[in-house]
């Protein structure tokens, strides 16, 4: 028996010629929420065990309370991405809204405050919209945009990655331009590397990162999806405590785990949804990978085959964990006048 098994392995492994995958750890995939059109941009607030995410095109900000098991949402006026809680007030949410950065105060129970617009983005590209974003360790907001995507495809080269701080609200700093669809965003544990994805490029890139100044330099390609037997565009991304990247594949039906030091493909976790949009570590021990998905681009037939597409999934037993999501540090409260004092509240 033993020799037959060895023969089987010896025959099969070279034929597959796959990169070395870690032994299967039987991750468990659970559907956490009801589907929406296009769930994206999950962020985890470890102060209150809250998962935030958005339904971009419907302007909805969702709030999943881990302890209560409840899901609530509010609807804002425009496309919304990302949603990130603030450092000095957990209920003060910083969002990308249309082509702006905005703040809204919401505790998940009471009615939300009025939306306060803090900064305008992409003035030269009136049909572009916000896409993914994250805060860095200093609380600066990194937020990207993408060109208009319609039936004829994407308007190219109209995306921009910005860095938004209290000091540059009148003219947010351009970090990377042009891009097509700004996505990804992760920092390593040492906080000296920044990872980024422009989805249609199929690449994950790394920059050296200076946390003190917020500057990025020395672009290097870490991973090229086209060099692998995989489908889909790299979309949202997070990083684990060992600096492995967990990357959603839009059109690829899963999440992949990449060694950021050498680009090795370590693991593929399939999901019951073709269009996987992003991932974040959460849960009280930061060992649950929350993954958002979309149904907006599916055909009617695909929607029937993938009834959970558009849901948020929770993946457990991945054998690793993440670090807390960084919070944005722009305002202390919704009517804090010390930052962006000249901006008026929107009616
Ligand atoms: C954006 O996409 C277009 C069309 O595929 C391509 O020509 C262009 O080089 C891309 N831009 C970037 C910044 O990758």
Single out the residue of 136, 179, 183 nearest to residue 160, CA to CA: 179
DSSP class of residue 167? G
Cis preceding linkage at 289, omega within 30: no
Q: Which atom of ligand 1 is nearest to the CA of 179?
A: 13
Q: By alpha-carbon position, which residue is closest to atom 11 of ligand 1?
A: 157
Share of the chain above pLDDT 90, in %: 88
pLDDT at 344: 47
- How remote is the CA of residue 90 from the centroid of ligand 1, in Å? 38
**Can you say which residues are annotated as belonging to the binding site for substrate?**
131, 149
| 43 within ligand 1 shell (Cβ under 6 A) | no
Torsion on CA atoms 281, 283, 287, 291, rounded to nearest 10? -40
| 170 within ligand 1 shell (Cβ under 6 A) | no
**Is residue 72 within 8 Å of 108, Cβ to Cβ?**
yes
- How remote is the CA of residue 235 from the centroid of ligand 1, in Å? 16
Fold of 28-316: Neuraminidase (2.120.10)
pLDDT at 340: 60
- How remote is the CA of residue 205 from the centroid of ligand 1, in Å? 16
- Tell me which residues are annotated as active site: 235
pLDDT at 124: 97
pLDDT at 27: 83
Q: Is the pLDDT of residue 12 over 70?
A: no
Q: Which atom of ligand 1 is nearest to the CA of 178?
A: 13
DSSP class of residue 32? -
Relative to beta strand 159-164, strand 39-45 is unpaired
Q: Is the pLDDT of residue 283 over 50?
A: yes
Give the pLDDT confidence of 180-212 residue by residue, as tens digits.
999 999 999 999 999 999 999 999 999 999 999
Helices (H), the chain: 2-16, 300-305
Whether the model clears a pTM of 0.85, i.e. scores above it, the answer is yes
- How remote is the CA of residue 121 from the centroid of ligand 1, in Å? 20
Q: By alpha-carbon position, which residue is closest to atom 3 of ligand 1?
A: 156
DSSP class of residue 4? H
8 vs 285, higher pLDDT: 285
- How remote is the CA of residue 180 from the centroid of ligand 1, in Å? 6
Q: Which of 21-25, 93-97, 238-242 has the lowest mean pLDDT?
A: 21-25
**Cβ within 8 Å of residue 224, ≥6 positions away:** 202, 203, 263
Contacts 24+ apart (CB under 8 A), 241-244: 241/189, 241/320, 241/321, 241/322, 241/323, 242/320, 243/188, 243/189, 244/320
- CA–chain centroid gap for 185, Å, is 7
Ordered by start, the domain boundaries in the chain are 28-316
The helix/strand count (H/E) of the chain reads as 2, 26
Q: Is the pLDDT of residue 15 over 50?
A: no
Q: By alpha-carbon position, which residue is closest to atom 5 of ligand 1?
A: 156
**Mean pLDDT over each residue of the chain, to the nearest integer:** 91
**Can you say which residues are annotated as belonging to the binding site for a divalent metal cation?**
40, 183, 235
Give the confidence band of 18 by pLDDT, cuts at 50, 70, 90. very low
Burial of 135 (0-12, 13-18, 19+ CB in 10 A): buried
Q: By alpha-carbon position, which residue is closest to atom 13 of ligand 1?
A: 179
**Can you say which residues are annotated as belonging to the binding site?**
40, 131, 149, 183, 235
| 179 within ligand 1 shell (Cβ under 6 A) | yes
């Amino acid at each position: 028996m033993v020799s037959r098994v060895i023969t089987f392995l010896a025959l099969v492994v070279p034929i597959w010629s796959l990169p070395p995958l870690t032994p299967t750890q039987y991750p468990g995939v659970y559907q956490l929420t009801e589907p929406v059109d296009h769930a994206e941009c999950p962020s985890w607030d470890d102060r209150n065990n809250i998962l935030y995410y958005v339904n971009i095109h419907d302007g909805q900000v969702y709030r999943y309370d881990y302890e209560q098991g409840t899901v609530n949402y509010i609807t804002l006026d425009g496309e919304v991405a990302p949603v990130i809680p603030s450092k000095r007030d957990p209920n003060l949410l910083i969002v990308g809204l249309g082509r702006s950065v905005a703040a809204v105060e919401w505790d998940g129970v009471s009615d939300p405050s009025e939306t306060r617009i803090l900064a305008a983005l992409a003035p030269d590209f009136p049909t572009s919209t916000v896409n993914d974003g994250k805060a860095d360790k200093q609380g600066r907001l990194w937020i990207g945009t993408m060109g208009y995507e319609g039936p004829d495809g994407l308007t190219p080269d109209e995306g921009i990655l910005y860095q938004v701080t209290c000091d540059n609200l009148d003219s947010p700093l351009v970090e990377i331009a042009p891009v097509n669809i700004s996505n990804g965003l992760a920092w390593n544990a040492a906080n000296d590397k920044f990872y980024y994805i422009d989805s249609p490029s199929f690449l994950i890139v790394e920059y050296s990162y200076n946390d003190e100044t917020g500057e990025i330099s020395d672009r290097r390609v870490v991973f090229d999806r086209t060099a692998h037997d995989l489908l889909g565009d790299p979309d949202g991304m997070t990083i684990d405590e060992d600096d492995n990247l967990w990357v959603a594949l839009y059109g690829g039906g899963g999440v992949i785990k990449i060694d950021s030091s050498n680009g090795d493909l370590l693991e593929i976790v399939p999901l019951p949804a073709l269009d996987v949009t992003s991932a974040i570590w959460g849960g009280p021990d930061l060992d649950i990978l929350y993954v958002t998905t979309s149904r907006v681009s599916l055909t009617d037939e695909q929607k029937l085959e993938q009834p959970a597409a558009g849901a948020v999934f929770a993946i457990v037993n991945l054998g690793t964990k993440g670090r807390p999501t960084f919070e944005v540090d722009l305002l202390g409260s919704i009517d804090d006048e010390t930052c962006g004092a000249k901006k008026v509240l929107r009616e």
